[in-house]
């Protein structure tokens, strides 16, 4: 009996020592991982102070591990804007995770190292929640992406230079093909004409591809030229309506143009004249035309029969433009990728209809320039609606800006031209 008890005590001791060994092993394993990975890992407590700071985090930030324990995370992970100005406290990635209690990721953050060097990083913060959903800390992972950014920049520069250089010979080929097809300049038979028309079509497509590549490369590295002015979106779309109607009717599609909502803020004057609301926005009209034309062309391109409508509406803060079609619609799984570079839905329609997959990417980049948002709502078999929201300028502010624009364009009086400035 005594022997049996001793045996079971021995067994229990062995279990405890195994467990301690296992735990030691586990700690060793996690220490090995934390000390050897290239990503900076931080354990942050509920007061947002640092409790663990691995060697990679020390290397990226320039802060020795020993000096970081117990320090507020925002003093060590100092995030700044592209201009090097500190971001607002509420926008700090760790603060965002604490506020929302949800994982937060920023792929384009800029860290100010201890020696005030700007380092592009990605940062992801995962909240630690107990069973009652209380947040007792967070784990942040940071990665130095200096090399990736440099390579991206070099790639974009290459694409930009190559497409710029290739546009010139393509334009020359296009010009000569047009001359060959011109009755007044060349005599060709029907078969040759047919070949040349096809060659011209493809050359045009190639030129468009180079143009799109150039625009997207510029959009990515912030070199997109933009001269924003005050634009009244209703009148602006009305101007474009005729050419839109023409291209849709050529394909047998009907069109509608819808401005404002009758229930919104329309004013009736003198009984029958209806003034629609003025939807002012501050954008470069040429850039905006690129976006609206792209959405309209897509709607026509992907809609075999039916209707395409374009509308402008809004509320006090936002002006909304939409392009709606009765085409095939877009599957839900494709929707999140639609505004990414080179994304084309893989179906029989896109296999036969030409395209580059750059149009919607460029649209998004342009709309983001003006702090707007672009998205799509779609139902397979029923059609798609592409929406753009832009910040609305109040009429008084729009008129003030218009006056300032007119003044800056006006010729200066002779006296001011002769006065040295």
Residues in touch with ligand ADP (CB under 6 A):
298-299, 302, 325, 327-328, 330, 338, 343-345, 350, 355-361, 384
Specify the residue, 139 or 335, whose C-beta has the smaller distance to ligand ADP. Answer: 335
Least gap, CB of 215 to ligand ADP (angstroms): 12
Specify the residue, 102 or 337, whose C-beta has the smaller distance to ligand ADP. Answer: 337
Q: What distance in Å separates the CA atoms of residue 358 and residue 343, rounded to the nearest whole number?
A: 7
Q: Is 123 within 8 Å of 140 (Cβ atoms)? A: yes
Specify the residue, 51 or 211, whose C-beta has the smaller distance to ligand ADP. Answer: 211
Specify the residue, 384 or 389, whose C-beta has the smaller distance to ligand ADP. Answer: 384
| Residue written as token pair 């324990």 | 69
Contacts of 199 (CB under 8 A, 6+ apart): 177
Please list the residues that pair with 309 across neighbouring strands: 256, 324
Least gap, CB of 307 to ligand ADP (angstroms): 12
- If we measure between CA atoms, which residue out of 123, 89, 126 comes closest to residue 109? 123
Q: Is 190 within 8 Å of 197 (Cβ atoms)? A: no
Q: Is 342 within 8 Å of 358 (Cβ atoms)? A: yes
Quote the tokens at residue 76: 């060590």
Backbone angles phi, psi at 345, to 5 degrees: -70, 135
Least gap, CB of 295 to ligand ADP (angstroms): 7
Least gap, CB of 214 to ligand ADP (angstroms): 15
Specify the residue, 172 or 353, whose C-beta has the smaller distance to ligand ADP. Answer: 353
Least gap, CB of 310 to ligand ADP (angstroms): 12
Specify the residue, 209 or 319, whose C-beta has the smaller distance to ligand ADP. Answer: 209
Q: What distance in Å separates the CA atoms of residue 193 and residue 180, rounded to the nearest whole number?
A: 8
Least gap, CB of 133 to ligand ADP (angstroms): 39
3-state SS, residue 411? coil
């Amino acid at each position: 009996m005594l022997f049996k008890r001793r045996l079971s005590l021995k067994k229990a001791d062995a279990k405890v020592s195994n467990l301690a060994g296992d735990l030691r092993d586990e700690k060793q394993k996690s220490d090995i991982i934390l000390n050897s990975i290239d990503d900076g890992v931080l354990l942050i407590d509920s007061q947002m102070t640092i409790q663990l700071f691995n060697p990679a985090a020390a290397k990226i930030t320039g802060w020795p591990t020993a000096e970081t324990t117990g320090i507020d995370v925002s003093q060590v992970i100092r995030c700044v804007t592209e201009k090097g100005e500190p971001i607002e406290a509420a926008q700090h990635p760790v603060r965002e995770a604490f506020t929302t209690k949800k994982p937060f990721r920023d792929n384009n953050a800029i860290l100010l190292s201890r020696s005030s060097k700007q380092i592009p990083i990605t940062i992801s913060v995962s909240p630690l929640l107990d069973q009652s959903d209380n947040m007792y800390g967070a784990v942040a992972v940071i990665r130095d992406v200096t090399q990736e950014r440099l390579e991206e920049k070099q790639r974009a520069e290459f694409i930009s230079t190559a497409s710029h250089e290739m546009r010139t010979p393509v334009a020359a080929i296009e010009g000569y093909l047009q001359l060959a097809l011109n009755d007044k300049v060349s005599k060709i038979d029907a078969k040759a004409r047919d070949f040349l028309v096809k060659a011209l079509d493809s050359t045009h497509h190639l030129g468009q591809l180079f143009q799109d590549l150039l625009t997207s490369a510029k959009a990515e590295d912030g070199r997109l030229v933009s001269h924003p002015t005050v634009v009244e979106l209703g009148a602006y779309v009305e101007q474009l309506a005729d050419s839109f109607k023409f291209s849709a009717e050529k394909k047998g599609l009907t069109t509608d143009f819808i401005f404002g909502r009758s229930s919104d803020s329309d004013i009736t004057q003198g009984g029958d004249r209806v003034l629609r609301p003025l939807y002012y926005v501050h954008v470069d009209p040429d850039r905006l035309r690129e976006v609206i034309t792209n959405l309209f062309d897509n709607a026509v391109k992907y809609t075999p029969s039916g209707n395409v409508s374009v509308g402008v509406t809004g509320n006090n803060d936002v002006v909304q433009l939409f392009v709606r079609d009765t085409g095939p619609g877009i599957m839900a799984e494709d929707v999140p990728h639609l505004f990414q570079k080179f994304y084309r839905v893989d179906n029989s329609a896109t296999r036969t209809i030409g395209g580059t997959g750059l149009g919607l990417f460029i649209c998004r980049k342009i709309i983001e320039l003006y702090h707007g948002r672009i998205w799509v709502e779609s139902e397979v078999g029923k059609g798609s609606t592409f929406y753009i929201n832009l910040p609305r300028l109040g009429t008084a502010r729009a008129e003030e800006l218009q006056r300032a624009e007119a003044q800056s364009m006006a010729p200066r009086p002779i006296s001011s031209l002769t006065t040295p400035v």
